[in-house]
A and B are shown apart, each in its own frame.
Chain A
Amino acid sequence: MLDIVDPRPAADPTDTAGSFDPPTAGLAIRGLTVRYGGPERAPTVWSVDLTLEPGKILGLAGESGCGKSTTAKAAIGFRQGSETVTGRSLLAGTDVLALDPLARRALWGNRVSYVSQSASLALNPAMTVGRQLAQPLRRHRGLSGAALKRRMLELFTLVDIPDPAVALKKYPFQFSGGQQQRVALAIALCCEPEVLILDEPTTGLDVTTQARISALLRSIVDRTRIAVLYVSHNLALLANLADSLAVMYAGQIVEQGPTPVVLARPRHPYTKILLGLSPRLEDPRLVPGIPGLPPAGAVLDDCSFAPRCPYAEAACCGAAVPARRFPGGVEARCHRAEALAGGGPSPVALSRVAIPDADPLLIVDQVELHYRGAPRPSVDKVSFKLKTGERIGIVGESGSGKSSVLKMISGLVAPTAGYMRFGDTRLDALAVDRPRWLCRDIQLVFQNPDASLNPRHTIRQILMRPLVLFHGKLPASERERRVRESLERVRLPAAFADRMPQELSGGQRQRVAIARAFLASPKLLLCDEVTSALDVSVQAAVLETIAEISADAGVAVVFVSHDLAVVRTIADRILVMRNGQVVEAQDADGLFTNPQEPYTRDLIAAVPTFDLA
């Protein structure tokens, strides 16, 4: 087993973020600034100070495009192109950024390691993982022969890869996503580095896999006293894993400090809102989404969050906001930190309707989908009923068959066995063979709004289509009126009708997709992972839109997601799927308070929560 005895004394725990005395171990990032293009362009990362201490995990949170990945790469001197990097990054007193390229490369993989988001891309597909693990060991440690082999087996055992001797001879594609990330972790740890940078290492993996890798990481950090920077968009995950937390917005660290202190009393409105936005299992309510979009780069002469901030006042504009210190070792860039305690947006439950006790709208009975040549059915004897206005959530990990259920209901694939009924009509035909009113009644919204809107059509053309298809001969002015009205209902300006999908942000596009679905006046809305491609600040608003409009019109919803917390906020009843089968079906409250099946319990336990007890 791996036993690293750190000869250096652990850094004083009171010496937290913002200190300008570089610690003797770990990594001290000071004034890190990254610019693409000339000085006239806004910097992507502005004056970042972070301290990575031995045996501690520093979580760096923020939404997509805030500069957190750029920070992580720039901190170890990795250049991606034409960017200019200034500032210092001190590894035991040596400025990594001042080293020449060769000296820097001698550090990488040796004293400083980096693990990127997708291990399936970061591992060379044409080389066995054993060779990829051996390369840095030979280079930095000069190992060879039996010693090399022994060390490789030791590392694979450390990251819990079953049957290490066989695994070493395999190619990356022969491993699952979680195991690939373990391999990447083994390579990163092979030379016993002092600093480990993890850039969204578990994003895209299932929650249970994510939880296991997080636990593994924690145990490695505790044993090896390595200093870790963990970059993630998932605040709940960091809340559970990280010792201290830094929140990034528009290229700046807006708040940082010890995790429990930040969670208990956020000093920056962005942190506070993010915490409220992240859906919680224990409290299925959401803070309304943050209006607007973040700026493209750092804003230097105002508070960068001011345009979207519910607490903003005149003093927030006109000058950069310096970092202020607060009790408990927290620093935040906010004039109004004291005002946060009271007021501001408070969480609300999504709107719901009482479900009338009527005949079911949709009956799915013993439905099976078995692709030819597949070892097992993708969907295996699934049954459920749905009443008008009811919302059902289907949760499950990748490959559980949850999306396939939606595809069958919407008529994109035909079930290979079983029976589905919508109202009084059997649903066995593909959509193209179904009567038009049936296609109108069942509407589907897809996961990725980048792909579900045709890039060659304007938003108006996209929204007109259901009107033309399902509402017969409407006068042109009436169609135009409905298009505008639908845009307003999803809270987009009517002028967006003239835009192309590429000119909208992801969240805006998803609203257009939702508007398109509701323009058909459906009775049943199928949502396939509709929020998973979106940032948390946008996610809440999209959920709200779906909940509000479906409640107004009494539309039944089947909401499929891998994210239990999101499903919890919107669903009345929840099905848990695994390997094509429904393992448990309960009303939402019951499922979380009293799960019956061990798999459900595992799934719930794996979801990171803000519960710090």
Chain B
Amino acid sequence: MSLVLAERPIADRVPMWRLVLAARDGRVGVALTGASLLLILVGPMLAPFDPTAVNLAPSNQPPSMVHLLGTDHLGRDVFSRFLWGGQSILMIPLMAVVLTYLTAGLLSLVAAYKGGWFDLVVSRFFELLMSLPALLKILILVAAFGPSTPVLVAAIALTNAPGASRVIRGAVLGETQADYVQAAQARGEAALSVVTREILPNILGPVSVDFALRITWGIIALSTLSFLGLGVQPPQADWGLMIQEARSSLQKAPLVAIVPAIAIASLSIGLNLTADAVVRQFTGRTGAASGHGA
């Protein structure tokens, strides 16, 4: 007996980035993210003045040809501070999320795969961490250890940990139930091989989206903290801090606050729109990119 197989069309294997760019919000997201990243990375090279040099000119000057955005209350060049101000706001959350994934992420991966009491202890621990909102947790840590960069990184990493743990745990638990994982286990494959060959390729999508979203939440948390005066400390240039410093003169010089505000917003909105467009390709529906990160 010979079988004539009806030809099934090979499913479209269009790369993800093309699908994301096909949607308008995906294009806007990628453009905003790209522009923000470019500004952050290239900005310092273009800065006309030292961002921390005081009394370059009389304080609170309106924009001029020399000082494109004027000067602030200490006579610093606002434009130069703006060009430098994205460094901390990108690097600290980025380091924090990497730290989250290297610690909480790996721990949860192992716990979820192994199961048993270890998994129970790990998930209870993260549940407990979740019981206070992110901002309060960070504030307690800053109150205890002071607002230095390592503390900020650790604090943001810690607040991201329960969420990352939940995403990874959920993904891994879903996968370990899958028959192809059981098939690999029945083949006698080592745990490391099962995790890397069978599980990781399948959870990489949701996890990378989660990674991007956590960076936005880190950006939001850090800029809020700087705005409260408990994050990046003066005289460093930082977008959140600039808004805090401009707060008292919001009436007279709104631009000093508005420009960094727009920069923070476009970075965060860009990342979120991109992540959402990616999520839509995975799940066919929107909305995964909402939540408060805690």
Stretch at the interface among A117-125, A264-272, A352-360, A449-457: A449-457
On whether the beta carbons of B187 and A454 are closer than 8 Å, the reply is no
**B189: which A residues are within 8 A, CB to CB?**
432, 469
Mark contacts of A441-461 with chain B using CB atoms, 8 A cut-off: 1 yes-contact digit, 0 otherwise.
011101110011111110000
Given contacts A454-B201, A469-B189, contact A444 B11 (CB under 8 A): no
On whether the beta carbons of A411 and B11 are closer than 8 Å, the reply is no
Mark contacts of B34-48 with chain A using CB atoms, 8 A cut-off: 1 yes-contact digit, 0 otherwise.
000000000000000
Decide if A349 is an interface residue (CB 8 Å cutoff). no
Decide if A201 is an interface residue (CB 8 Å cutoff). no
Decide if B183 is an interface residue (CB 8 Å cutoff). yes
Stretch at the interface among A286-294, A321-329, A604-612: A286-294
Decide if A19 is an interface residue (CB 8 Å cutoff). no
Decide if A492 is an interface residue (CB 8 Å cutoff). yes
Question: What is the bound-complex CA distance between A443 and B4, given in angstroms?
Answer: 28
On whether the beta carbons of B186 and A410 are closer than 8 Å, the reply is yes
Question: What is the bound-complex CA distance between A432 and B198, given in angstroms?
Answer: 15
**B179: which A residues are within 8 A, CB to CB?**
446-448, 451-452
Decide if A552 is an interface residue (CB 8 Å cutoff). no
On whether the beta carbons of B8 and A293 are closer than 8 Å, the reply is yes
Question: What is the bound-complex CA distance between A206 and B293, given in angstroms?
Answer: 45
Decide if B10 is an interface residue (CB 8 Å cutoff). yes
Q: Which of B181-201 contact A (CB under 8 A)?
A: 182-191, 197-198, 201
On whether the beta carbons of A439 and B187 are closer than 8 Å, the reply is yes
B1's nearest neighbour on chain A, judged by CB, is: A288
Decide if A491 is an interface residue (CB 8 Å cutoff). yes
On whether the beta carbons of B180 and A412 are closer than 8 Å, the reply is no
**A293: which B residues are within 8 A, CB to CB?**
5-6, 8
B6's nearest neighbour on chain A, judged by CB, is: A293
Decide if B19 is an interface residue (CB 8 Å cutoff). no
Least CB distance from A299 to B in Å reads 12
> Which one of B1, B5, B8, B186 contacts A431 once the chains associate, using CB atoms below 8 Å?
B186
Least CB distance from A256 to B in Å reads 26
Question: What is the bound-complex CA distance between A446 and B185, given in angstroms?
Answer: 13
**B178: which A residues are within 8 A, CB to CB?**
451
**A439: which B residues are within 8 A, CB to CB?**
186-188
Decide if B3 is an interface residue (CB 8 Å cutoff). yes
Stretch at the interface among A145-153, A164-172, A416-424, A497-505: A497-505
Decide if B2 is an interface residue (CB 8 Å cutoff). yes
Decide if B249 is an interface residue (CB 8 Å cutoff). no
On whether the beta carbons of A502 and B201 are closer than 8 Å, the reply is no
Question: What is the bound-complex CA distance between A199 and B122, given in angstroms?
Answer: 46
Least CB distance from A466 to B in Å reads 7
Q: Which of B67-107 contact A (CB under 8 A)?
A: none
Decide if B202 is an interface residue (CB 8 Å cutoff). yes
On whether the beta carbons of B1 and A492 are closer than 8 Å, the reply is no
On whether the beta carbons of B11 and A466 are closer than 8 Å, the reply is no
The interface size of chain B toward A, counting residues with CB under 8 Å, comes to 26
A513's nearest neighbour on chain B, judged by CB, is: B183
Q: How large is the interface on A (under 10, 10 to 19, 20 to 34, 35 or more residues)?
A: 35 or more
On whether the beta carbons of A431 and B188 are closer than 8 Å, the reply is yes
Least CB distance from A375 to B in Å reads 22
> Which one of A438, A500, A541 contacts B11 once the chains associate, using CB atoms below 8 Å?
A500
Q: Which of A490-519 contact B (CB under 8 A)?
A: 491-493, 499-500, 502-505, 508, 513, 516
On whether the beta carbons of B8 and A469 are closer than 8 Å, the reply is no
Given contacts A499-B10, A503-B11, contact A432 B190 (CB under 8 A): yes
Question: What is the bound-complex CA distance between A499 and B6, given in angstroms?
Answer: 15
On whether the beta carbons of A292 and B6 are closer than 8 Å, the reply is yes
Question: What is the bound-complex CA distance between A455 and B175, given in angstroms?
Answer: 11
**B190: which A residues are within 8 A, CB to CB?**
432
On whether the beta carbons of A505 and B8 are closer than 8 Å, the reply is yes
On whether the beta carbons of B180 and A444 are closer than 8 Å, the reply is no
**B4: which A residues are within 8 A, CB to CB?**
291-292, 307
Least CB distance from B130 to A in Å reads 26
On whether the beta carbons of B3 and A491 are closer than 8 Å, the reply is yes
On whether the beta carbons of A451 and B188 are closer than 8 Å, the reply is no
Q: Which of A558-598 contact B (CB under 8 A)?
A: none
Question: What is the bound-complex CA distance between A451 and B174, given in angstroms?
Answer: 12
On whether the beta carbons of B188 and A434 are closer than 8 Å, the reply is yes
Least CB distance from B13 to A in Å reads 8
Question: What is the bound-complex CA distance between A448 and B178, given in angstroms?
Answer: 10
**A431: which B residues are within 8 A, CB to CB?**
185-188
On whether the beta carbons of B5 and A444 are closer than 8 Å, the reply is no
> Which one of A412, A442, A453 contacts B182 once the chains associate, using CB atoms below 8 Å?
A412
Least CB distance from B174 to A in Å reads 11
Decide if A465 is an interface residue (CB 8 Å cutoff). yes
On whether the beta carbons of A292 and B5 are closer than 8 Å, the reply is yes
On whether the beta carbons of A291 and B188 are closer than 8 Å, the reply is no
**A493: which B residues are within 8 A, CB to CB?**
5
On whether the beta carbons of B187 and A465 are closer than 8 Å, the reply is yes
**A503: which B residues are within 8 A, CB to CB?**
8, 10-11
Question: What is the bound-complex CA distance between A430 and B8, given in angstroms?
Answer: 39
**A513: which B residues are within 8 A, CB to CB?**
183
On whether the beta carbons of A466 and B180 are closer than 8 Å, the reply is no
Question: What is the bound-complex CA distance between A504 and B8, given in angstroms?
Answer: 7
On whether the beta carbons of A456 and B5 are closer than 8 Å, the reply is no
Decide if A79 is an interface residue (CB 8 Å cutoff). no
Question: What is the bound-complex CA distance between A454 and B178, given in angstroms?
Answer: 9
Question: What is the bound-complex CA distance between A288 and B6, given in angstroms?
Answer: 17
On whether the beta carbons of B198 and A454 are closer than 8 Å, the reply is yes
Least CB distance from A127 to B in Å reads 26
On whether the beta carbons of A456 and B187 are closer than 8 Å, the reply is no
**B6: which A residues are within 8 A, CB to CB?**
292-293, 307
**A455: which B residues are within 8 A, CB to CB?**
202
On whether the beta carbons of A469 and B180 are closer than 8 Å, the reply is no
Mark contacts of B1-38 with chain A using CB atoms, 8 A cut-off: 1 yes-contact digit, 0 otherwise.
11111101011000000000000000000000000000
On whether the beta carbons of A469 and B183 are closer than 8 Å, the reply is no
On whether the beta carbons of B3 and A444 are closer than 8 Å, the reply is no
On whether the beta carbons of A446 and B8 are closer than 8 Å, the reply is no
On whether the beta carbons of A452 and B3 are closer than 8 Å, the reply is no
On whether the beta carbons of B185 and A291 are closer than 8 Å, the reply is no
**A453: which B residues are within 8 A, CB to CB?**
180
Question: What is the bound-complex CA distance between A469 and B3, given in angstroms?
Answer: 31
A448's nearest neighbour on chain B, judged by CB, is: B179
On whether the beta carbons of B180 and A452 are closer than 8 Å, the reply is yes
Decide if A436 is an interface residue (CB 8 Å cutoff). yes
Question: What is the bound-complex CA distance between A508 and B3, given in angstroms?
Answer: 11
**B183: which A residues are within 8 A, CB to CB?**
444, 446, 452, 513, 516
**B182: which A residues are within 8 A, CB to CB?**
412, 446, 452
Question: What is the bound-complex CA distance between A454 and B185, given in angstroms?
Answer: 13
On whether the beta carbons of B202 and A291 are closer than 8 Å, the reply is no
A433's nearest neighbour on chain B, judged by CB, is: B188
Q: Which of B153-195 contact A (CB under 8 A)?
A: 178-180, 182-191
Mark contacts of A207-250 with chain B using CB atoms, 8 A cut-off: 1 yes-contact digit, 0 otherwise.
00000000000000000000000000000000000000000000
Least CB distance from B39 to A in Å reads 36
Mark contacts of A537-556 with chain B using CB atoms, 8 A cut-off: 1 yes-contact digit, 0 otherwise.
00001000000000000000
A292's nearest neighbour on chain B, judged by CB, is: B6
**B1: which A residues are within 8 A, CB to CB?**
288, 291
Mark contacts of B119-159 with chain A using CB atoms, 8 A cut-off: 1 yes-contact digit, 0 otherwise.
00000000000000000000000000000000000000000
Given contacts A291-B3, A448-B179, contact A411 B8 (CB under 8 A): no
Question: What is the bound-complex CA distance between A447 and B180, given in angstroms?
Answer: 11
- 4 tightest A-B CB contacts, nearest first: A439-B188, A452-B179, A456-B201, A451-B179
Q: List, sorted by A's number, 8 A–B pairs whose CB atoms are closer than 8 Å.
A: A292-B6, A293-B8, A412-B182, A412-B185, A438-B188, A446-B183, A451-B179, A456-B201
**Sample of 10 more A-B contacts, CB < 8 Å, known A432-B188, A439-B186, A516-B183:** A432-B185, A436-B188, A438-B188, A439-B187, A439-B188, A451-B178, A452-B182, A455-B202, A456-B202, A493-B5
